[in-house]
Amino acid sequence: MNLPKAPADAALINVDMTKDFLPGGALAAEDGLEIIPVINWLGDMFETRVWTKEEHDEHHDFFASSHEGKTAMVDTVETEYGTQYLWPDHCVIGSEGTEFHEDLNVGEDDMIVIKGTDKTIHAFSAFLMDDRKTVITYPDGKTMAEKLEEAGVTKVFVTGLLKDFCAGLTAVDAARAGFETYFVEDASKSLGLPTENGLTTIDVIEDLFEEAGVKVIDSSQVPGILASMSPATPGFNKGFKPS
């Protein structure tokens, strides 16, 4: 099958496909290795590919190890912006857990975005801190939206880990920033942690997808969607619009 090439204004954003989020890692998604071939297959269709990764201080405030007697992914802490889960130590700066899995086709010219470097607040999304209002500014002085704009991107296809945290919130924030956003369901995995009223984090992110206008698709739909897209429109400009 001859795969279509994405138009110049479409990007593939692969979220947090690093060793600590894959089997054998500190915060592993069950069966996470299954999505690597899907992501590689999708990547062959895109000229613009973005990879996000986390790099945390070893004493991050939202590691359970920073709170005596607390258990990761069970206990929570209260912040001024709501209840937050505590996590096992993961993606510590300089550790193997921050590395992309060796079976991923990460190109030399692909965009690499490192988030989570502030030890006082988590950053699931590549666009916003977890207070859900502070826009992340990267070391080059640009936001995620600005990086995409500079590359001429108007449409994004999001994959990776985890649907109900980093990958899902990146998709939500991309849509809220004005990008036409697709979330590739079979190129992601979830944790499904409990929340209020008997719901899980999967229920929460799916509600956010609907509210933000994220289009949830299967990877098999991507070639057809790309083939139907018009070429990029010059002069594109966007700005982030927090909810």
CATH assignment of the domain containing 137: 3.40.50.850
Judge whether 223 lies within some domain: yes
Task: Give how far Cα 64 sits from Cα of 10, 71, 77, 86, 200, Å.
Answer: 38, 6, 10, 5, 20
Band of residue 209 on the pLDDT scale cut at 50, 70, 90: very high
| Domain presence at residue 210 | yes
Helix (H) / strand (E) element for 13: namely strand 10-15
- Residue 217 included in any domain: yes
- Is residue 166 part of the annotated active site? The answer reads yes
In a domain? residue 66: no
d(CA 18, CA 4): 28
For the chain, how many structural domains are there in total? 1
Contact 111, 12 (CB under 8 A): no
Catalytic residue among 19, 53, 115, 155: 115
Written as six digits, the tokens of 157 are 């296809």
pLDDT of 146:
98
69-77 long-range contacts, Cβ below 8 Å, gap at least 24? 73/191, 73/193
pLDDT at res. 235: 40
Task: Work out the average pLDDT over 128-140.
Answer: 95
Strands 48-54 and 111-115: parallel
Residue of 53, 155, 164, 166 with catalytic role: 166
Does residue 214 form part of some domain? yes
In a domain, 236, yes or no: no
The answer to whether position 111 is within a domain reads: yes
Domain range enclosing 153: 10-56+100-228
| 85 — pLDDT class (breaks 50, 70, 90) | confident
CA 127 vs CA 3, 47, 58: distances in Å: 30, 21, 23
DSSP code, position 19: G
Residue range 193-208: mean pLDDT, rounded: 94
Q: In what helix (H) or strand (E) does residue 205 lie, and over which residues does it extend?
A: helix 201-212
Whether the pLDDT of residue 134 is over 80: the answer is: yes
Q: Is 115 a catalytic residue?
A: yes
User: Of these residues, 16, 20, 130, 164, which one is catalytic?
Assistant: 16
Q: What is the pLDDT of residue 104?
A: 98
91 assigned to some structural domain: no
Say what percent of the chain tops pLDDT 70: 94
Convert the pLDDT of each residue in 13-48 to its tens digit. Answer: 999 999 999 999 999 998 999 999 999 999 999 999
* Whether the predicted model's global pTM rises above the 0.75 cut: yes
**Mean pLDDT, to the nearest integer, of 51-75?**
90
pLDDT band at 232 (very low <50, low <70, confident <90, very high): low
Q: Give the Cα separation of 80 and 60 in Å (integer).
A: 17
Tell me what pLDDT residue 234 has: 44
